[in-house]
A = this chain, B = another copy of it.
Amino acid sequence: MTEGLRARARLAMRTEIAETAFALFVRRGFEQTTVDEIAEAAGLSRRSFFRYFPSKEDAVFGLLYDLGEELAAAVTARPAEETPWTALHAACAVLLGPMLHRSDEAMALLRLIHDTPTLRARHQDKQDSWRKLLVDALHGRSVPALEADVLASAALAVFDVVCRQWLADPAADPAALMAEAFAVLRPSREA
């Protein structure tokens, strides 16, 4: 039973290090912040930093990868009679909640990712892992393979569009943007 304890302690370390790193990234930029600086600020050795995060980028994305499972779960939780596209819309809308709740941090994170090339790239790799989970969730709703892939990819693309638009105009309402964006692509056979 000490397994759970260690796992929780490890998670706490990860979040603490990630928050320390994030503060530095926001202040000085991602590329300009060295791992040594993060390690010193977090009170551990450079070597130990890499025991908690496989790379510097993971200090930014590590905690976000888990959201993919929440997203997929949200899709699965939608009523079965709902069309896939509507279910995807509802699931993405769920993710908007935490973002609006701590919108300053969310905005800072989006901005950081947006204007750091390596983070932009990594972001898309994370989307790729989300996509796989979404495709599985859609298979659970008996959506054919190709269609599931297209719908999942498109939904994530829409999510990105909404984030970009929100970043460009913080006054906009993300939920409204998302409804509008999802409406553009609603498949013809749906209501």
Residues of A near any B CB (own CB < 8 A): 117, 120-125, 127-128, 146-147, 149-151, 153-154, 156-158, 160-161, 164-165, 177, 180-181, 184-188, 190
The residue of chain B having its C-beta at the shortest distance from the C-beta of A156 within the complex is: B157
- The answer for the CA separation of A51 and B167 in the assembled complex, in Å, is 35
Which one of B147, B160, B184 contacts A146 once the chains associate, using CB atoms below 8 Å? B184
Which residue of B124, B164, B185 is within 8 Å of A187 (Cβ)?
Answer: B185
Q: What would be 6 A-B contacts, judged by CB atoms less than 8 Å apart?
A: A124-B125, A146-B165, A147-B184, A150-B157, A154-B158, A185-B185
Q: Once the chains bind, are A153 and B146 in contact (CB under 8 Å)? A: no
CA distance A177 to B146 in the complex (A): 9
Contact flag A153-B149 (CB < 8 Å), given A120-B125, A122-B121: no
What is the total number of copies of this protein in its complex?
A: 2
> Which residue of A185, A186, A190 has the most chain B CB atoms within 10 A of its CB atom?
A185
Q: Which residues from chain B contact A128 at a C-beta distance below 8 Å?
A: 120, 124
Given contacts A121-B124, A124-B121, A124-B127, contact A186 B188 (CB under 8 A): yes
Cβ–Cβ contact A149 & B125, under 8 A: no
Contacts of A157 in B (CB 8 A): 150, 153-154, 156-157
Known: A120-B124, A120-B128, A149-B161. 9 other contacts (CB 8 A): A120-B125, A121-B122, A121-B125, A124-B127, A147-B184, A153-B154, A153-B161, A154-B185, A186-B188
Inter-chain contacts of A158 with B (CB < 8 A) = 150, 153-154
